[in-house]
Amino acid sequence: MRGEIIAIGDELTTGRILNSTSCFAAARLFAAGYKVPVLTTISDDLELISENLLQALARSDFVIVTGGLGTTSDDLTNEAVSAALARPATLYPEILRKIQAHSEHLSPRARASLEKLAWLPDGAHALHSEAKSAGYFLVHQGKPVFFLPGVPHEMRELMVEAVLPRLAVWDGKPTRRVRQRVYRVSGPGEAEINQCLADLEARDERAKIGYYPVSPEVQVSLTISAASGAEADALLADFDGEIRRRLGQDIYGLEEESLEEVVGELCRQRNLRLAVAESCSGGLIAAAVTRVPGSSAYFLGGVVAYSNLLKEKLLGVAGETLAAHGAVSAEVATEMAAGVRRASGADIALSATGIAGPDGGSEEKPVGTVYIGLAAAGGVRAELFTFNGKRGQIQEATAHRALDLLRRYLLSTQDSRPTGEKHG
Amino acid sequence: MRGEIIAIGDELTTGRILNSTSCFAAARLFAAGYKVPVLTTISDDLELISENLLQALARSDFVIVTGGLGTTSDDLTNEAVSAALARPATLYPEILRKIQAHSEHLSPRARASLEKLAWLPDGAHALHSEAKSAGYFLVHQGKPVFFLPGVPHEMRELMVEAVLPRLAVWDGKPTRRVRQRVYRVSGPGEAEINQCLADLEARDERAKIGYYPVSPEVQVSLTISAASGAEADALLADFDGEIRRRLGQDIYGLEEESLEEVVGELCRQRNLRLAVAESCSGGLIAAAVTRVPGSSAYFLGGVVAYSNLLKEKLLGVAGETLAAHGAVSAEVATEMAAGVRRASGADIALSATGIAGPDGGSEEKPVGTVYIGLAAAGGVRAELFTFNGKRGQIQEATAHRALDLLRRYLLSTQDSRPTGEKHG
């Protein structure tokens, strides 16, 4: 089935808000095997909403509309739907009852404003069983049309729990079976990876390889489209094996797997406790590590030693080292890593010190110069990196590379294949 | 002038990558007074690209196309443009020469692949003076059409430095003058702010107020559209004054101003040095503070005391306090703030301890329970917050509220108006 997604809102067409809801819907639909070749974003305009809704209905098997369902004065979607599809606004008492049931703690004014959510176009069916978020669907000219709130977490919940299940029973027999795998690659650039894999794609027209730099990493996608599920699975296994063989340890994970999850899992498996000492990354390594639920099992914490004062006081970096080599040096990176490992009692520690810019660079140490340190029972070492980009990019790249350095270190202490073999 | 933006790429229509480039282009065009009511995202499909380009050209005064200009095998935009606009691919020797000049450090294979970038549809003019990024424009049937790379930072640079200036001279006399102001509001929710401002919008049809919850804050936009610049400026001043009077200190900043910039500026003005002690926010407060260039002038650093061990060792939180009240308590938050202030020698310190989930909640202290502490020369205090959402949302909300607490504290020590007056 072919679908379309229409996102509504001046906040989107004027670029004030990034449209993450269409992206989420597109990803879920793609993963479920639907084709969504066109996503449209339009402003809060009655005529445009009507026009685009009718156009999408004419050329698609289903339509998903997000945004403009709220209670404020700039929410116009329902009005536009009523006009375009000739479905007058109707009060749904059951929805109103549910809304009132879970809004008892609100002020009378706030409760009154929620009543608007119970007035929907004729033929609408609420998507949330308790009406805790706006959102409904209706069948128009035999096609399902879904209306979801623009608030990302509400939209996501309804997409997964209400839209996909309804589409799945709607659509009996998809003509092609699609399989997709996304490889998260850390280290080589897009062009290098492309060269490494370019001949693979030419092998079979049912396989497609895409390259997406999402700084500081590159995502490589493998998409298989075949006549049957079994055929698709066999092709996927074949291409997947070849891609893994060629990219080796440069692949840190798959799909939505994050580097911090992979590193966390490695720490957990080996029962290692981690600490960090950050200067230029300003807390981003710790923030990444602690994004992972359950990270307290292996993450002790660390020090954001942004000033030299804290590098000395909390990490025990020697004043002489700072004076002799400067805060951005391999020597200070190693003392930071060793210092936080000692202070925290961790098994393994990462450190980062560098120049994120825009000021502070010199000819010898330009903006983007970063030393990443790693301390473990076996000793401590530091590596020099040079990152490009703006301050935020350099900070993100620092945190990413520090975690990747740790990942490769942990893999190397388990797996003794020389890294030179990684490209097969 | 009315424009359209078309973003091309399977990575966008399959939801693998969030489309930030269209958002950026829309924001800049809106700020410059152009109307962009429709943004379209389409897959890497020759026919779809042609069809959408022709459709957009027919109904708009200018078109901006992003993506598909690279050197890899899935980059199809130029081919589609050549076909749709009947402009055969042509080798531009001057562009080739420039590309070769800045790619001398690359391998012969990588250099050869770059040659593709010098083959453009007939009539194209490169946008980057040194051809350091792909991107060109052409005039088709009297309308300017811009083709920009999909790589965000390259696209942004060309948008600002090459597209907007060309559009500005293209368009002699816009019919309406637009002014916009975005207020960043921390504290009250969308519905509360809407109620506070709802009557204002009804006053004048030339003014429009929008409400955009961007968790954990709400952005309020004021848009004025008037016949002349002077009229627009006068209306803006009028409505701006009223909005500021009503929302008071709940407005923390304007436009792209971030909370961490505002807080940083307050610290700088008062010559205060800041330190942080974070548990559940895992480094996000420090990361936010250090996103700001020059933050080393007022930020010393801090401790991510994720484990109780580090709360005791590095912050001097008493073991008895942890045992008696638990790590998530007002008592521990105050000892953390006081501890990092003492250990770092900072003038002012923030702390945060809470339950980000998904595990660790209890009936007494459910997931989302967070204590934020603030220590200054005058003493130390902690406040209890309850945040909703998933782990990441709770962590982000914690960091945001901690900085907002500091902002309000710094404003209160300067400005003695009781906060009860803030809603006028």
Chain A (121-160) residues lying within 8 Å, Cβ to Cβ, of chain B: 151, 153
The pairing of beta strand B119-121 with beta strand B89-91: antiparallel
User: In this predicted model, what pLDDT tens digit does every residue of B276-306 receive, in sequence order?
Assistant: 999 999 999 999 999 999 999 999 999 999 9
CA distance B159 to B22: 11
Of B190, B198, B303, the CB nearest to A301: B303
H helices of B19-162, where? 20-31, 46-59, 77-84, 93-101, 108-114, 152-158
Q: How many domains does chain B have?
A: 3
**Residue B310 placed within a domain:** yes
Task: Encode pLDDT of B226-277 as tens digits.
Answer: 888 899 899 999 999 999 999 999 999 998 799 999 999 999 999 999 999 9
DSSP string, A349-362: EEEEEE--SSS---
A80 and A134 housed in the same domain: yes
Query: Above 90 in pLDDT, residue B328?
Result: yes
A146 and A16 share one domain: yes
Q: Are B80 and B113 in contact (CB under 8 A)?
A: no
Cβ distance of B22 and A41 shorter than 8 Å: yes
The mean pLDDT value for B336-360 works out to 96
In a domain, A418, yes or no: no
What are the structure tokens assigned to B73, written together? 């095998």
Domain finish residue from A254, A278, A310: A254
CA distance B135 to chain A (A): 18
Q: Is B88 on the interface with A (CB under 8 A)?
A: no
- Give the pLDDT confidence score for residue B172 in this predicted structure: 59
Helix (H, G, I), strand (E, B) or coil at B213: strand
Asked if A3 contacts A63 with a C-beta cutoff of 8 angstroms, the reply is yes
The residue-averaged pLDDT of A267-281 equals 97
Beta carbons of A10 and B210 less than 8 Å apart = yes
Comparing B91 with B116, the larger pLDDT belongs to: B91
Any bridge partners for residue A208, and if so which? A223
* Residues of A in Cβ contact (< 8 Å) with B304: 276, 283, 286, 290, 301-304
pLDDT given at position A309: 92
Q: Is A293 on the interface with B (CB under 8 A)?
A: yes
Does any domain span residue A101?
A: yes
pLDDT tens digits for range B117-137: 899 999 999 998 888 888 999
pLDDT at B417 over 70: no
Which of A382, A405, A295 lies closest to A286, judged by CA? A295
Residue-wise pLDDT tens digits, B53-71: 999 999 999 999 999 888 7
Closest A-chain CA to B209: A74
Cβ A304–B276 below 8 Å, yes or no?
A: yes
Give me the CATH number covering residue A348. Answer: 3.90.950.20
**pLDDT classification of B171: cutoffs 50, 70, 90:** low
Give a yes or no: residue B419 inside a domain. no
Considering the domain architecture, whether residues B113 and B249 belong to the same structural domain is answered as no
pTM of the model: 0.79
Judged against a pLDDT cut of 90, whether residue B347 lies above it is answered with: yes
Q: In sequence order, what E strands does B68-200 have?
A: 89-91, 119-121, 125-126, 136-140, 143-148, 177-185
8 Å CB contact between B340 and B277:
yes
The CA distances from residue A102 to A233, B47, B190, in Å, are: 46, 49, 18
Lookup: tokens for A265 = 């899992």
Is the pLDDT assigned to residue A424 strictly greater than 70? no
- Please answer yes or no on whether A221 and B73 come within 8 Å at the CB atom: no
pLDDT of residue A213: 77
Q: Are strands A299-304 and A348-354 parallel, antiparallel or unpaired?
A: unpaired
Domain boundary among A254, A285, A312: A254
Q: What mean pLDDT value characterizes chain B?
A: 90
Residue B326 has pLDDT above 50, yes or no: yes
Task: Please give the Cα distance from B136 to B145 (Å, whole number).
Answer: 9
- Choose among B208, B291, B359: nearest Cβ to A293: B359
Does the beta-carbon distance from B309 to A300 stay under 8 Å?
Answer: yes
pLDDT of A373: 98
> Looking at the domain assignment, is residue B262 inside a domain?
no
Of B254, B289, B310, which residue is a domain's last?
A: B254
Split at pLDDT 50, 70, 90, the class of A422 is very low
pLDDT computed for residue A172 by the predictor: 58
- A190 CB within 8 Å of a chain B CB: yes
Check whether B423 has a pLDDT greater than 60: no
Q: How far apart are CA B424 and CA B305, in angstroms?
A: 41
Whether residue A182 lies within 8 A of chain B, CB to CB, comes out as yes
Residue B184 has pLDDT above 80, yes or no: yes
Q: How many Cα atoms are found within 13 Å in the side-chain-facing hemisphere of A421?
A: 6
Output the domain CATH number for residue B130: 3.40.980.10
Task: Check residue B420 and give its pLDDT.
Answer: 36
Instruction: Please check the confidence at residue B189 and state whether its pLDDT lies above 70.
Output: yes
Same domain, A329 and A402: yes
- Searching chain B, which residue's CA lies closest to the CA of residue A358? B293
Provide the domain limits for residue A136: 2-168
Percent residues over pLDDT 90 in chain B: 68
Do B141 and B221 fall into the same domain?
no
CB atoms within 10 A of CB B416: 6
With bands split at pLDDT 50, 70 and 90, how would you rate the model's confidence at A357?
very high
B248 and B283 both lie in a single domain: no
Question: Is A108 in CB contact (< 8 Å) with chain B?
Answer: no
Q: Taking CB atoms and an 8 Å cutoff, what residues of chain B touch A345?
A: 309, 313
3 state SS of B131: coil
Q: Would you call B349 an interface residue with chain A, using a CB distance cutoff of 8 Å? A: no
Confidence at residue B421, expressed as pLDDT on a 0 to 100 scale: 36
Averaged pLDDT of chain A? 90
Question: Residue A176's pLDDT is what?
Answer: 65
User: Do the beta carbons of residue A395 and residue A372 sit within 8 Å?
Assistant: no
Q: How many CB pairs under 8 A join A and B?
A: 307
**A296 pLDDT more than 90:** yes
Residues A335 and A213 in one domain: no
For residues A84 and A24, the answer to whether their CB atoms sit within 8 Å is: no
Q: CA-nearest residue of chain B to A222?
A: B11
Cis before residue B165, ω within 30 degrees of 0? no
Is B210 a residue whose pLDDT tops 70? yes
CB contact under 8 A, A27 and B18: no
Q: Which one-letter amino acid corresponds to residue B174? A: P
Weakest-pLDDT range from A338-342, A412-416, B208-212, B359-363 = A412-416
Chain A residue closest in CA terms to B20:
A18
Residue A102 lies in a domain: yes
**Within a domain: B259:** no
Residues 6+ positions from A17 with CB-CB distance below 8 Å: A9, A11, B23, B212, B214, B219
> pLDDT of A111-150, one tens digit each?
888 888 899 999 999 998 888 888 999 999 999 999 999 9
Q: Are residues B363 and B277 in the same domain?
A: yes
Residue B307 within any structural domain of the chain:
yes
Q: Evaluate the CA torsion angle A203, A207, A211, A217 in order and state its sign.
A: negative
Residue B418: pLDDT band by 50, 70, 90 thresholds?
very low
Which residue from B minimizes the CA distance to A200? B73
Q: Are residues B102 and B67 in the same domain?
A: yes
Place of tokens 């002020």: A107
pLDDT reading at B83 higher than 50: yes
Distance (Å) from the alpha carbon of B219 to chain A's nearest alpha carbon: 9
Q: Alpha-carbon distance A176 to A170, whole Å?
A: 16
pLDDT interval class at B106 (50, 70, 90): confident
Q: Pick from A365, A388, A384, A360: which is nearest to A373 by CA?
A: A384
* B387 and B312 fall within a common domain: yes
What does residue A280 show for φ and ψ, rounded to 5 degrees? -65, -25
Residue A171: pLDDT band by 50, 70, 90 thresholds? Answer: low
Looking at residue A199, which CATH number applies to its domain?
3.30.70.2860
B356: confidence class by pLDDT, cuts 50, 70, 90: very high
Q: Is B272 exposed, middle or buried (0-12, 13-18, 19+ CB in 10 A)?
A: middle
Is residue A258's pLDDT more than 90?
yes
